[in-house]
């Protein structure tokens, strides 16, 4: 039996859903794959809990009663007493935590993340992290960086590794914005009310401006661009920001309080649509010309993007083998359940590739 110790950062929508999925699937993984998943560490921004036996269904009560003030080395101290494979899972949107990935690797942790920040920092940080991972023979998995649980990162990575030249990747990169604009184009509801409902249901980032600013989609484009081998920085991306200037620098709470100020400009854009048109938020990666663009576009209702429903993501990959007829990946591109399942798939991928590792 391969015992895997999981250390989870982030206990919000995605983190708590991942815990539920792991606990529900423990017997399945033991019986069918010879893997025992034990969540031995939990941390939020203030508290941390470690437990050698792993958490159970009463984890929320245990965390409330037994967690201690978070220390940066709490997981390291605990892990040093055990030889089991250790996987750090980042279910946060924390910029600060992303900068600690190299330290986690130095301490012998594989890393699984839904957080796109580390993959979209400077090219130097990106390259140095991968060099360190190779030196330590450790894994870094981030399928959920793009498309939640959809296999878009793996597909791009495998095509590139096989020697396939990738020309372009286009589509609806944000299930969150897909959900918002699918509804906004069809329903007579204020834009702000749809955004708030999306936030409540876990479709958007904790601060919806990450989605509305175009930054979240831009990061996804950058993740894929770097998978194709491009050396490029976030600042090279052309991004349309849907947040009005006055709200771009407001606090998160102020933004929510004043979010109705977005209604008028978006309603104006909607009013210009023809009966056969809808609004879609699109990302375009032109690998050949090293061009990345994020913008809100008008598309025909009967186009592939125009036919999307709910929070579906939609990706067209053009390459040597798919030059005239692109490889299309489509499906639920946002939501806590599919994102958590994507994290769990990455955990299992690492677990199956690692026999027992002895840490010295």
pLDDT band at residue 354 under the 50/70/90 scheme? confident
Query: Residue range 271-278: average pLDDT?
Result: 96
Residues annotated within a binding site for L-homoserine: 205
pLDDT for the residue numbered 313: 87
Q: Does residue 356 register a pLDDT over 60?
A: no
Binding-site residue ranges: 10-15, 92, 116, 205
290/313: higher pLDDT:
290
- pLDDT (tens digit per residue) in 250-272: 999 999 999 999 999 999 999 99
pLDDT at 248 over 90: yes
- Give percent of the chain above pLDDT 70: 99
Residue positions annotated with a catalytic role? 220
Q: What is the pLDDT of residues 79-133, one digit of tens each?
A: 999 999 999 999 998 999 999 999 999 999 999 999 999 999 999 999 999 999 9
Instruction: Specify the residue for token string 């067209």.
Output: 316
The lowest-confidence range among 8-17, 250-259, 291-300, 301-310 is: 301-310
Supply the DSSP string of 294-310, one letter for each residue.
EEEEEEETTSTTTT--T
Could you give all domains of the chain from N- to C-terminal order, each with its CATH number? Answer: 2-148+338-353 (3.40.50.720), 152-333 (3.30.360.10)
Q: What pairing do the DSSP bridges indicate for beta strands 68-69 and 47-50?
A: antiparallel
**Count of other CB atoms within 10 angstroms of residue 216:** 23
Q: pLDDT value at position 358?
A: 47
pLDDT beyond 70 at 243: yes
User: 66: helix, coil or strand?
Assistant: helix
User: Kind and range of the H or E element at 86?
Assistant: strand 85-90
What's the rounded Cα separation, in Å, for the pair 123 and 356?
33
**Residues ≥6 apart with Cβ < 8 Å to 261:** 244, 246, 247
Q: Which has the higher per-residue pLDDT, 92 or 359?
A: 92
Is the confidence at residue 359, as pLDDT, over 80? no
What is the average pLDDT across 294-315? 92
Q: What is the pLDDT of residue 7?
A: 98
The tokens for 131 are 């060099």
Q: Across the chain, what does the average pLDDT equal?
A: 94
Instruction: Identify the pLDDT of residue 82.
Output: 94
Binding annotation for NADP(+): 10-15
Q: Could you report the per-residue pLDDT of 195-238, keeping only the tens digit for each?
A: 999 998 878 878 999 899 999 899 999 999 999 999 999 999 99
Handedness of CA 337, 339, 343, 345 (dihedral sign): positive
Percent of the chain that is helix, strand, coil (3-state, to 5) = 45, 20, 35
**pLDDT (average), residues 134-158:** 95
Residue 68 has pLDDT above 60, yes or no: yes
């Amino acid at each position: 039996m391969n015992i895997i110790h999981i250390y989870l950062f982030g206990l919000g929508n995605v983190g708590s859903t991942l815990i539920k999925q792991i606990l529900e699937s423990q017997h399945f993984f033991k019986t069918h794959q010879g893997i025992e998943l034990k969540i031995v560490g939990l941390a939020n921004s203030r508290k941390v809990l470690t437990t050698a036996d792993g958490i159970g269904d009463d984890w929320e009560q245990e965390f409330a009663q037994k967690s201690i003030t978070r220390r940066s080395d709490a997981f390291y101290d605990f892990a040093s007493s055990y030889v089991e494979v250790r996987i750090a899972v980042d279910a946060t949107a924390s910029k600060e935590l992303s900068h600690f990935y190299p330290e986690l690797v130095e301490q012998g942790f594989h890393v699984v993340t839904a957080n796109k920040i580390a993959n979209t920092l400077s090219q130097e940080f990106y390259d140095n992290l991968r060099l360190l991972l190779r030196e330590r023979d450790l894994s870094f998995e981030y399928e959920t960086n793009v498309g939640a649980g959809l296999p878009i990162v793996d597909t791009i990575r495998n095509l590139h590794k096989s020697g396939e030249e990738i020309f372009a990747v286009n589509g609806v990169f944000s299930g969150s914005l897909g959900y918002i604009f699918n509804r906004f184009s069809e329903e007579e509801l204020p834009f702000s009310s749809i955004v708030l409902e999306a936030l409540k249901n876990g479709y958007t980032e904790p601060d919806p401006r990450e989605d509305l600013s175009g930054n979240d989609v831009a990061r996804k484009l950058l993740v894929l661009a770097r998978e194709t081998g491009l050396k490029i920085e976030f600042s090279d991306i052309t991004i349309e920001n849907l947040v009005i200037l006055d709200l771009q620098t407001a606090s998160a709470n102020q933004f929510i309080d004043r979010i109705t100020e977005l209604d008028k400009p978006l309603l104006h854009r909607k009013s210009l649509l023809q009966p056969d048109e809808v609004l879609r938020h699109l990302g375009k990666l032109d690998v050949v010309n090293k061009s990345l663009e994020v913008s809100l576009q008008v598309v025909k209702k009967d186009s592939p993007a125009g036919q999307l429903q709910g929070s579906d993501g939609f990706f067209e990959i053009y390459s040597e083998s798919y030059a005239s007829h692109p490889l299309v990946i489509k499906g639920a591109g946002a939501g806590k359940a599919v994102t958590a399942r994507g994290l769990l798939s990455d955990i299992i991928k690492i677990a199956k590739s690692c026999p027992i590792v002895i840490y010295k």
